[in-house]
Structure 1
Amino acid sequence: MSKKKSWYFLAAVVGALVVAMVSFAVPNPTSAVAGEENGYYGKKAKYVFYFIGDGMAMPQINSTEIFKGTLSSSDPMYKEKLSFTVFPHQGMQTTHSTSSFITDSAAAGTALASGHKTANDVLGVDPANKIKYKSMAEMAKEKGMKVGIVSSVSLDHATPAVFYAHEASRNNFYEIALSMSDSGFDYFAGGGLLAPTGKKKDRPDALEIAKQKGYKVVNNQNEIMNLSRNDGKVIAIQPGLANEEAMQYEIDRTHQLSLADFTKKGIELLDNPNGFFMMVEGGKVDWACHANDAATTIRDVMAFDNAIAEALKFYAKHPNETLIVVTGDHETGGMSVGFSGTKYETFYNKINKQTMSFEELDKKIKAYRGIVGENGANLQDWLPILAKDFGLTELTAYDQQRLADALAQSMLDAKKRTKDEKSYLLYGGYEPFSMTVTHILNQKAGIGWTTYAHTGVAIPVFAQGTGGEMFQGYYDNTDIAKKMMSIMGVKFQ
């Protein structure tokens, strides 16, 4: 062999050895969601927090940072970061279901919990309802970890339910409620149950069944705050719930427990030598976005952030054993930082003057309707309330006409109201006067909305702690579950 050929041969051998060594030492990034370990070869997380802001995407997050900036600084360009937007690892996830580019919470939640796609309305099973998808919470329980599920909406709602139930429809609330106690999870907290005795209210009470299976069910604030690990498995329900068995909107909350309170108590009860998994949902972000109520949305994002702050306190004590992942299941409302009427300007300080949610305004409208009847409404009666509780003191003639038209619709029985395309575009099926009040306020603040439903935009992902680097990049929502399973040391099924 010539000297030149020997040199080429040696170089080829060395090159092959280098490639082999690198391939062995560094996992292929594309294997992040494949194989038994799903591409993660580091230390496993002992404590795992999964925070899901239902309906929360960048517009909701960015709006909250802008709003918080207006509260803490006179600088109109100042934004105040949220606790999770400074996490060192950030990515983006796609959210489509098997049936639509615009997912619902059941399909998105199934993907986030189990790593499997399914159709809208379907909960923890395949679209044909033949295969049950095991969630990471169920896997964690099998591994010996304690498990907690916390939500500001009812505990049988889609996002919390995907972690413990498997139903062909997210509306099978009674069956979902029974699955709670069947799961054996250690801590359920926040909202209540929508149908604890079935649709016809003729079934055995699901909470009584839970007690028979060893759960302590509490809905007294003092009892909740005094819970200890000696109480065993717990279902802790916020006393004095709001509509649909959910916690109050943060903007309406007074003395009631917060999402952060339930998160803090969960950490206290779940902490043990075998570790724990806790999913915390900010569910009312989604509800406020459906109603296009920006101030209420932002206050609930802030409440969600306060819950994450509790996890960060725990993380500070266990930085080498804890993973915190924060994301949303989809965006709701088509919220935008920008409105045509304000062009390049925003005035987020205006929504700070709103003191109640659209739901509380609905109650005032209902009471007023009972007093004046269908034809007795006068917008002048409402101007002091709009000024005091919404800061609407500068109403144009166009604003007043919109409000007067909406008030007239709100005075009618729901069955008598106009139900054409124009009416839906204006009010979305909500109380017309409430919707018009918040729309006008939002528009004056420079905030826009495109829908009363969900949208199909990508959603940000934020991670900190053990395995957090796995969440950088752009991937599908199913990949989040697979990455988390890998970091927890459980196998995707």
Structure 2
Amino acid sequence: MQKRVKWLSFSLVIVTLLVLIVSAFPKQEIVNAGVENGYYGKKPKYVFYFIGDGMGMPQITSTEIFKGTLSSNNPMNKESLSFTVFPNVGIQTTHSANTFITDSAAAGTALATGYKTNNNILGMDPTKQIKFRSMAEMAKEKGMKVGIVSSVSIDHATPAVFYAHEASRKNLYEIAISLGDSGFDYFAGGGLLSPTGPKKDKPNALEIAKQKGYKIVNTQEDVMALTKNDGKIIAFSTELAADSAMQYDIDRKDRVSLADYTKKGIELLDNPNGFFMMVEGGKIDWACHANDAATTVRDVMAFDNAIMEALAFYAKHPNETLIVVTGDHETGGMTVGFAGTQYETFYNKINKQTLSFEEFDKAIKNYRDTVGPNGANLEDWLPVLSERFGLTELSDYDKSRLKDSLAASMIDPKKRSKNEQAYLLYGGYEPFSVTTTHILNQKAGIGWTTYAHTGVAIPVYAQGIGGELFQGSYDNTDVAKKIMNIMGLKFQ
């Protein structure tokens, strides 16, 4: 009996120790148990990391259907994107540390550092005490050149997680200062949202970056003229759209594209020690927030064009290059299918849209300023809806929705109702604009569920050195760990 008691006491001690040991590990490590992130093969010299912000399977599938519709009269023709034919495909979960629906700061932190954090936190742990090192920072320390490219402002959450560590993604000035401190070799695309601080009373972050050795170019001609002799670069256009971002591709015309910035980055970064380049299609997310399908698919196509530049480089260096393409989360609850079209889709209809919701908003504002709060008439807009959106067949229900939303758009945005009904209808966007795109999308067979993000899993595509590691199902933190291990970087 005494021996049995001793044995039970000993067993209890062992079990207690095991519980304490297991509980000492972060929960995210336990969640990822069984996922293979180890890599022992050849290290790539060149690594491309493409992140389509807000890009999930609905955005990808919709773009493939849209491309097929453009290239053929066959309504069942679907045309693959450059990355959807990659030999290695996986799927990643996207939840943050505190919610199943992540924001871009938490998702970006996971994709850049391999660690979970709470929404709104940038490159730090949920307590806001520990700074996580990104793979870009590690690559720079290793001697590789580093480039960060985005179609939104370069201080936005996804690009920022690769070089900044802030308790809030809203600390834009501090993020801008971190950009210059990073020592990275190439920043391009959008500009800075707050280069002189929220009160515009701080030293200009771009001037500080210039003092630290950066050459700043902001014309298309100067961007295209850059050479390796120019050293560290910050490149953006003076003709930026709202929020210091590049134009939506549907509005871009002949301005510098995301593909142009990617191609120039490859030229400037190529060197004997190799490079790491992250390219974000950031405005996919913004178009989805506004539930604008035509603008969304055009920006996915622009993102795909940037990936094609990496593939052209890959063709010359197939045994030295890794390309990874994924998204950080899905936005808008976009889906292929709408109740009104049942089992059919008509994606050719969204090809008739010739401008983004953002540009259409400008026309609505001008009209509001001209006619005043009570002077709106839907008849004034029918020719515009026909010419710019292809909306020539409007039902009585369509016209009723358009009339109501036009009246709502005539109210000063600062005085509009903030009630639940207004949000469910318009999501805080220009009422007439979002109603127009909703009607067009629904006629095409495209639905939306939210003006925010969703919590669905996101596909991952990989080609090149170590690409086979991305097959299977895993967490977004594992995407970062896989890339780090393939590059020979030490996850900490």
Instruction: Pick the TM interval, shorter chain.
Output: over 0.9
Q: What letter matches 1:227 in structure 2?
A: L
Give the CA deviation at 1:419.
2.4
What residue number does 1:437 align with? 436
Task: Give the match for residue 7 of structure 1.
Answer: none
- Equivalent residue for 1:86? 85
Q: CA deviation at 1:220?
A: 1.1
Q: What's the secondary structure of 1:150's corresponding residue?
A: strand
% identity of equivalent residues: 78
Which residue in 1 is equivalent to 2:231?
232
Is 1:448 the counterpart of 2:447 in the alignment?
A: yes
Provide the secondary structure at the position in 2 that maps to 1:422: helix
Contact 1:50 1:278 survives alignment (8 Å): yes
Query: Who is 1:483 aligned against?
Result: 482
Q: Once the 2 structures are TM-superposed, how far is the Cα of residue 259 of structure 1 from its aligned partner? A: 0.1
Letter in 2 for 1:395: L
Offset of residue 410 of structure 1? 0.4
CA contact (8 A) 1:46 1:321 kept: yes
Say which SS state the counterpart of residue 364 (structure 2) adopts.
helix
> What is the distance in 2 between the residues matched to 1:479 and 1:123?
18
How far apart, in 1, do the equivalents of 2:233 and 2:416 lie? Answer: 45
**What corresponds to 1:259 in structure 2?**
258
- Give the conservation status (yes or no) of the 8 Å contact 1:188–1:236: yes
Q: Are 1:150 and 2:149 counterparts?
A: yes
SS at match of 1:147: strand
CA distance in 2, matches of 1:255, 1:473: 40
Report the secondary structure of 1:110's partner residue.
helix
Structure-2 residue corresponding to 1:388: 387
> Is the counterpart of residue 104 in structure 1 residue 103 in structure 2?
yes
Does residue 113 of structure 1 match 2:112? yes
- Map 1:297-308 to 2 at 5 A: 297-308=296-307
Q: Which amino acid aligns with 1:167?
A: E
Deviation at 1:417, TM superposition (A): 2.0
Deviation at 1:423, TM superposition (A): 1.1
Letter aligned with residue 107 of structure 2: A
TM-score normalised per structure 1 = 0.93
Task: Kindly provide the amino acid, as one letter, of the partner of residue 347 in structure 1.
Answer: F
Match of 1:243 in 2: 242
Distance in 1 (CA, whole Å) between partners of 2:149 and 2:309 is 13
Task: Say if 1:51 and 1:280, in contact at 8 Å, map to a contact too.
Answer: yes
Match of 1:370 in 2: 369
- The 3-state SS of whatever aligns with 1:452 is coil
- What code does the residue aligned with 2:141 have? E
Equivalent position of 1:67 in the other structure: 66
Asked if the contact 1:32/1:470 (under 8 Å) is kept, the reply is no
Please name the residue that 2:55 is paired with: 56
Distance 1:309 1:442 in 2: 28
1:276 & 1:418 partners in 2: Cα distance? 50
Kindly state the Cα deviation for residue 31 of structure 1 after the two structures are TM-superposed. Answer: 6.8
- For structure 2, list consecutive stretches of 5 or more residues without a partner in the other structure: 1-31
Distance 1:30 1:343 in 2: 41
Tell me the residue number matched to 2:19: none
TM-score (norm 2): 0.93
- The alpha carbon displacement at 1:422 in A equals 1.3
* 1:249 positional shift: 0.2
User: Where does 1:85-484 land on structure 2 (aligned, <5 Å)?
Assistant: 85-484=84-483
How far apart in 2 are the matches of 1:156 and 1:418?
Answer: 31
Stretch deviating more after TM superposition (414-423 or 142-151) = 414-423
Q: Give the deviation of 1:239 after TM superposition.
A: 2.5
State the SS of the aligned residue for 1:251. helix
Q: Deviations over 1:366-417 (max 9, x none)?
A: 0011111111110000000000000000000000010000000101111332
Amino acid at match of 2:152: V
3-state DSSP of counterpart to 1:463: strand
**Alpha-carbon separation, structure 1, partners of 2:419 and 2:342:** 30
User: Does the 8 Å CA contact 2:48/2:324 hold for their aligned counterparts?
Assistant: yes
Ranges in structure 1 where 5+ consecutive residues have no aligned partner: 1-28
Aligned-partner SS, 2:117: coil
8 Å CA contact retained: 1:221, 1:238: yes
Moved segments of 4+, more than 6 Å: none
Contact 2:281–2:299, Cα closer than 8 Å, also in 1: yes
Aligned amino acid, residue 368 of structure 2 = R
Q: 2: CA distance between counterparts of 1:419 and 1:483?
A: 44
Give a deviation string over 1:181-229, Cα, whole Å, max 9, x none: 1000000000000000000000000000000000000001111000000
Q: Distance in 2 between matches of 1:363 and 1:157?
A: 24
SS of equivalent residue, structure 2 residue 478: helix
Tell me what 1:18 maps to. none
| Partner residue, 2:8 | none
Report the Cα distance in structure 1 between the residues aligned to 2:126 and 2:416, rounded to whole angstroms: 37
**2:35–2:474: 8 Å Cα contact kept in structure 1?**
no
Distance, in Å, in 2 between the alignment partners of 1:447 and 1:157 is 28
Letter in 2 for 1:47: Y
Letter in 2 for 1:205: N
Q: Distance in 1 between matches of 2:78 and 2:481?
A: 34
Contact 2:101 2:454 in 1 (8 A): yes
CA contact 1:46–1:322 (8 Å) conserved in 2? yes
Contact 1:31-1:39 within 8 A present in 2 as well: no
Instruction: Provide the rounded CA distance (Å) in 2 between the counterparts of 1:418 and 1:187.
Output: 44
Correspondence list, 1:18-37, <5 A? none
Check the 8 A contact 1:32/1:483 in 2, yes or no. Answer: no
Q: Secondary structure at the match of 2:50?
A: strand
Q: Which amino acid aligns with 1:320?
A: N
How big is the shift at 1:32?
5.6
Q: Distance in 1 between matches of 2:370 and 2:115?
A: 52
Q: Secondary structure at the match of 2:306?
A: helix
User: Quick check: 419-428 or 218-227, which moved more?
Assistant: 419-428
Rounded Cα–Cα distance in structure 1 between residues aligned with 2:489 and 2:35: 14
Question: 2: CA distance between counterparts of 1:474 and 1:209?
Answer: 43
Superimposed CA distance per residue, residues 312-345 of structure 1 (whole angstroms, 9 cap, x where no aligned partner): 0000000011000000000000000000011001
Shift of 1:238: 2.0
Q: Kindly indicate whether the alpha-carbon contact (under 8 Å) linking 1:32 and 1:40 is maintained by their aligned counterparts in 2.
A: no
Q: Report what 1:42 is aligned to.
A: 41
Q: Distance in 2 between matches of 1:346 and 1:419?
A: 34
Aligned residue type for 1:59: P
Aligned counterpart, 1:21: none
Aligned partner letter, 2:118: A
Q: What is the distance in 1 between the residues matched to 2:73 and 2:264? A: 36
Are the counterparts in 2 of residues 151 and 189 from structure 1 also a CA contact under 8 Å? yes
